[in-house]
């Protein structure tokens, strides 16, 4: 749905989750090329850059089934697998592109690994 600047009200179907779901300071926060990932005790928050075609998103830990972090030669990515959400798949020459995937260069690799571990620990899965 497109939000036009002159429209003041938000349709019920586009209401975003309340900030009250965010519990305290993030355990891990990583800035990627296409957004910021913050890992909290009970949820993950993805804040997108203004140029992104995807909206900001919050995912409860109970909805996460897996998390993938892949280092590639140029662009690495972190992908969150969520119940009842079909994630895009990587190919030989391209990274997945969907609302649960964030991309970054080599500079975010360490942070992405920490985020992956933090998510797995909170969803009850050991890496």
Reported as type and span, the H/E element at residue 44 is: strand 43-48
Residues 95, 77 contacting (CB under 8 angstroms): yes
* Cβ neighbour number for residue 25 with a 10 Å cutoff: 9
Structure confidence at residue 33 as a pLDDT band (50, 70, 90)? very high
DSSP secondary structure letter of residue 37: E
Name residue, tokens 């990932």. 37
- Count of structural domains, the chain: 1
- Which domain does 100 fall in, by range? 25-122
The pTM for the full model equals 0.77
In a domain, 11, yes or no: no
Cβ(12)–Cβ(1) below 8 Å:
no
* pLDDT for res 88: 84
Please check whether residue 10 lies inside any domain of the structure.
no
- Greater model confidence, 5 or 96: 96
In a domain, 16, yes or no: no
Residue 19: predicted pLDDT? 47
Range scoring the smallest mean pLDDT among 5-9, 30-34, 61-65, 81-85: 5-9
């Amino acid at each position: 749905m497109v939000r036009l600047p002159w429209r003041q009200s938000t349709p019920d179907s586009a209401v975003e989750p309340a900030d009250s779901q965010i519990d305290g300071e993030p355990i891990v926060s990583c800035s990627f090329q296409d957004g910021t990932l913050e890992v909290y005790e009970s949820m993950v928050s993805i804040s997108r850059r203004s140029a992104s075609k995807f909206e900001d998103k919050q995912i409860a830990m109970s909805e996460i089934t897996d998390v993938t972090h892949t280092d590639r030669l140029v662009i690495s990515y972190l992908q969150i697998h969520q119940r009842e959400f079909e994630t895009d798949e990587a190919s030989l020459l391209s990274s997945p592109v969907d609302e649960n995937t964030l991309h970054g260069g080599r500079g975010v690799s360490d942070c992405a690994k920490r985020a992956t571990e933090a998510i797995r620990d909170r969803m009850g899965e050991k890496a």
